[in-house]
Amino acid sequence: DCEKPDCLLKHGITVTVEVRFKPEKMIKNLINDVSAILFNVPLLFVGVDGTDAHDYYNADGSKAEWLLQGGVEYIYKNNFPVLATYPRVSSQ
């Protein structure tokens, strides 16, 4: 939903993430590392950060196998909610 850094995330929306990547070597599993920077302090996204990143696909859009090969392009896709429990700050 955001094409460049400093994305504004509003409470109650669901954020869509799509990242293309090409690992240099074989990867057996990926872990989500999802946070926001708020006043130079990382704020972890509860329920997303530290979870298995199993939503990855081949470049043609088909579901990828659990073992990712080095030198092959993949696409990671995920959705996560911006919870009401996250701090509310002004973007001004």
- C-alpha 50/C-alpha 33 separation (Å) is 6
- C-alpha 55/C-alpha 57 separation (Å) is 7
Task: Say what the pTM is.
Answer: 0.72
Q: What is the structure's pLDDT at 92?
A: 54
pLDDT band for position 2 (50/70/90)? low
Beta bridge pairs of residue 38: 41
Q: What is the pLDDT of residues 32-63, one digit of tens each?
A: 888 877 788 888 887 788 888 888 899 999 99
- Choose between 17 and 71: higher pLDDT: 71
